[in-house]
């Protein structure tokens, strides 16, 4: 299995990734000294009926669209090749925020793991890089 070398390319995480369930496309970008991710496309999102953050513990945020929401952040490249740690992931399905790590297992395959307290107390998905994707109808601009 080929390894992605961060020494050669610390931007290997940047770009678009489709979730395992094909329900969303996530855009990774640099945010300060780490990497963040936002919803770029959502399967059930339309301009007339945007997907909302209706499980957010903050009632005011329940009215906000998920499209463009930064729901992953704080990922810092580690010395171990293609591994990013120290991050967090927000689950709009549950309204909870969890610790998270990312690992590029191949150049176009990303293992995403969210957990509480210890990494073995969590779950994960495998995401696949995509070269292009439609964007959410209401996708806000982002300043990289």
Q: What is the pLDDT of residues 5-35, one digit of tens each?
A: 433 356 889 999 999 999 999 999 999 889 9
C-alpha to C-alpha distance for 70 and 97, rounded to whole angstroms: 12
Judged against a pLDDT cut of 50, whether residue 69 lies above it is answered with yes
Q: What angle do CA 118, 121, 124 make, to 5 degrees?
A: 110
What mean pLDDT is predicted for residues 106-116? Answer: 89
Q: What is the Cα–Cα distance from 91 to 81, expressed in whole angstroms? A: 27
Using alpha carbons only, give the angle 65, 41, 33 rounded to the nearest 5 degrees: 85
Q: Does domain 15-130 have CATH number 3.40.630.10?
A: no
What is the pLDDT at residue 3?
A: 39
């Amino acid at each position: 299995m080929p390894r992605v070398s961060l020494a050669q390319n610390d931007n290997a995480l940047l770009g678009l990734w489709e979730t395992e369930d094909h329900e969303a496309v996530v855009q990774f970008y640099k945010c300060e000294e780490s990497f963040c991710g936002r919803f770029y496309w959502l399967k059930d999102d339309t301009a007339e009926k945007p997907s909302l953050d209706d499980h957010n513990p903050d009632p005011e945020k329940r009215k906000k669209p998920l499209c463009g929401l930064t729901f992953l952040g704080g990922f810092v490249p580690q010395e171990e090749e293609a591994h990013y740690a120290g991050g967090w992931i927000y689950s709009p399905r549950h309204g909870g925020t969890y610790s998270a790590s990312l690992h590029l297992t191949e150049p176009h395959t990303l293992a995403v793991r969210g957990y509480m307290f210890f990494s073995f107390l969590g779950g994960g998905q495998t995401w696949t890089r995509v070269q292009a994707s439609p964007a959410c109808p209401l996708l806000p601009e982002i300043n990289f």
